[in-house]
Amino acid sequence: MITTYGFSIATANKDLRQAAIDAVFRWLDEVHPQETRTNATPVNVRHSANDAIFRVDVLEQDTKQAAARGTTATLIVSKNELYFDLRCTLRPMKPAVLPRRTIERPEARLNKLVLEIIKLFKVRDAEKIIDAQITIANDQMSGQSLAAFAEAPSRRLPIVIEVIVGKPAPITSTKTATLLAGIAHVAHVASHVADEAFNNLYGARVIGASWITVIWPRGAAPENFHQQDDDELVNHLIAASIASLATLVLAPPKKRANEQTRKAGTPAQSNSSTAQTQQETEELRRVNQELLEENAGLLENATLTDMLSAQKTEERDRAYSQLATFLSMEDDKSYLDRVSDAVAFAQKNLPNIIFHQRAISSANESHLMNGRRIYSNLVELNNLAARLQRGDFAPNVFNIYCNQQLSNFAASISGEAEHRYAQDYAIEWKGENVLAKPHIRCGDARIHFYHDTKTNEIVIAYVGRHLRDKSTN
């Protein structure tokens, strides 16, 4: 048996079971109406209110070769989720060596069933709803957002990205996105600005107008496709989806009470001891498998709970400490007024950011009196650094989070400032001269910092008055 198409999706909302079953039955009634079914197209349905497993299996003869085409839809309710699995298979019916057709695109009505299930489940993949829509990136922000999504550690599905700038027509289309629904996300980069923003944030030129890029999840290397149509691309992704399908070990249906009573009343000779032993063995195997799955789930939940508890404790302690400081500032109107005092206090109490000696000296020399505002911004930067070092988001999207959380944040300096006044922004860090380009504007003051991407350390390089830039005469 060869699997030629596969799709799976899971949701925590187990109340959707009946709606999903109804969708499968609608597909079955449209494709194989009850009145037209024959022995040549057997349909097997497993469906019971007290059975955690729902399954429909349809087998139809393939006239092109001595094989049968099978379509199986399975719905499984477990303790944690509702799991939907859809597979198309090719099953040999005669003892003959036949050509191996490994991949088949779903026919239109089956594809419609996939779209119905996706719309019903509303599952998020790295905070993006799984759907059959094409994401459009046409400016700097959307280009950066697409790159951040591509780097998201929790992403499960691959992303197909085509740069459509300068093309008479894109190679990937709405039809492509529909065929790959639930298998891959599809995105179009529609401007040079978005193209550049994506590659800059990603850290390498992975997308371009001369090819289509598939960015795989979990750190796998991107792949490029240079064909003039999407045939190979779609087949490649369907094959990847098939390979990722879970092995379904389905327990037998639970016996109904009346069947068990009826069997208890039959003569002993109707059931041999061998058959009874086999039945008991199968039941023990099923129970053992359920216990193993339950134990694995409990262990995973316990580990996750410990991690979340430690994280919440850390966040609570940090919030208490920061609240105490802000209350002191409220009680004493002169508390931390001077920038030098604010930086000295931050150095002692904000453990997730590192203060370079130049930051201390520049703060002491500034004689500025907006220390409270400086300290508030350093607190926010410290909290973001804690999340970065804990792995809540990838290093290359740190500036995006800074832009969202910090008012008056700039991710870099102007090209003129970098070329004419580089020495103003430079610090020596671990034996190298680096530029502290990201900065926070605080009235007349500036906070410049450097992100060491090798260690994820955030180094405060300068706190003081506005440095020289393009506005300097």
DSSP codes joined into one string, 190-207: -SHHHHHHHHHHHTS---
Whether the pLDDT of residue 304 is over 50: the answer is: no
pLDDT band at 257 (very low <50, low <70, confident <90, very high): very low
C-beta neighbour count of 3 within 10 angstroms:
20
Q: Which residues pair with 445 in a beta bridge?
A: 442, 465
Site of tokens 């996939």:
114
Task: For residues 31 and 12, give the distance between their C-alpha atoms in angstroms, rounded to a whole number.
Answer: 29
pLDDT reported for residue 107: 93
**Percentage of residues in the chain with pLDDT exceeding 90?**
57
What is the tens place of the pLDDT at every residue in 121-159?
999 998 899 999 999 999 999 999 999 999 998 899 999
What is the tens place of the pLDDT at every residue in 278-296?
777 777 777 777 776 666 6
Whether the pLDDT of residue 268 is over 60: the answer is: no
What is the tens place of the pLDDT at every residue in 391-414?
778 888 899 899 988 989 999 999
Task: For residues 202 and 396, give the distance between their C-alpha atoms in angstroms, rounded to a whole number.
Answer: 7
Q: What is the pTM of this model?
A: 0.56
Instruction: Retrieve residue 306's tokens.
Output: 């410990």
pLDDT reported for residue 318: 56
Domains of the chain by start residue, with CATH: 2-121 (3.30.530), 124-243 (3.40.30.10), 312-465 (no CATH)
Instruction: Give the residue among 246, 128, 237 at the shortest CA–CA distance from 179.
Output: 237
Instruction: Retrieve residue 150's tokens.
Output: 């591509």
Helix H or strand E segment including 389:
helix 371-390
**Single-letter amino acid, residue 15:** D
> Mean pLDDT, the chain, as a whole number?
85
From the centroid of its chain, how far is CA 366?
A: 45
Query: Any residues with CB less than 8 A from the CB of 188 and at least 6 apart, and which?
Result: 134, 135, 136, 137, 161, 162, 163, 164, 170, 172
pLDDT reported for residue 326: 59
